[in-house]
Structure 1
Amino acid sequence: MDLTTILLLLAIGLLAGVLSGSVGVGGGVIMVPLAVYFLGYSQHQAQGISLAVLAVPVTFVAAYTYHNSGHTLDWRYALIIALSFVVGGYFGSKLAVNINQQLMKKIFGFILIIVAVKMIFFSKAKGVS
């Protein structure tokens, strides 16, 4: 691994971490596209690396910061989502590894567009009228 690659990996990690901590995105939204376009990974490899990073509770400190800053988190909800994420991730990965890379990129991009449109035009926070 050369110095340029190490610096690129550090930049991707820092960018994903800053965006994850500040606006809640990082893994799929940041790491996957950057790994595809700057590291030359296939869509499957990029998704795998993003999931591998999340295998360690890398964002726990950021979540704890939100909690301590008065944005109380329901840790029970987080635990339930995390456990079901493990199960969903297993079945999703079983499905994804059998999908053609070009189709996978299109599915990934389409999901990002749908989420972006929903967040921009139809977003409503829980408990806010």
Structure 2
Amino acid sequence: MKMDATIIIGLILLGLLAGYLSGLVGIGGGIVMVPVLVLLFGFTQHKAQGTTLALLIIPVGILGVMNYYKTGNVDIKTTLLLCVGFVLGSYLGSKTAITLSQETLRKAFAILMVIVAAKMFFQK
């Protein structure tokens, strides 16, 4: 992708929006960034997911958690237990994702977003 000023500004604004929503509602950012990278920036589904995972390591893993930790809103025991499964799950999930076609991966991502949105919307 050619990085002209419009693309650079667009990517920075996308990062700002995803980071803000991540801090505001606790999402990882991928829910926002993956579709925008695919639909507006022409990324393949694989590249959008890989790029999003790469960028989330430091900001979400360290910086985004600091404010929640300072106010006592991070359960360390639960975090450590979740990490055990998450590390293996993310490895296996990424290995599976790279074997799927763009269309299958995009549809799976869309279905997951719809299911999560519906569950949150109708939950009491």
Q: TM-score range by the shorter chain?
A: 0.7 to 0.9
- Describe the superposition over 1:33-67 as per-residue Cα deviations: whole angstroms up to 9, x where unpaired: 111011100111100011111222x1233322123
Indicate whether 1:80 and 2:78 are aligned.
Answer: no
Contact 2:28-2:56 at 8 Å conserved across structures: no
Please provide the CA RMSD for this pair.
1.6
- Summarize the Cα distance change of 1:101–1:76 in structure 2 as closer, same or farther, 3 Å threshold: same
* Greater shift in the superposed pair: 81-90 or 113-122: 81-90
Name the count of aligned residue pairs: 121
Give the Cα–Cα distance (whole angstroms) in 1 for the partners of residues 95 and 118 of structure 2: 28
Structure 1 length as normaliser, TM-score? 0.84
Gaps of 5+ in 2: none
Which aligned segments of 4 or more residues in structure 1 are displaced greater than 6 angstroms? Answer: none
How far 1:26 moved relative to its partner?
4.2
The match for 1:127 is: none
Which structure shows the higher helix fraction? 2
* Stretches of structure 1 lacking an aligned partner (at least 5 in a row): 124-129
Other-structure match for 1:89: 90
Percent identity over the alignment?
42
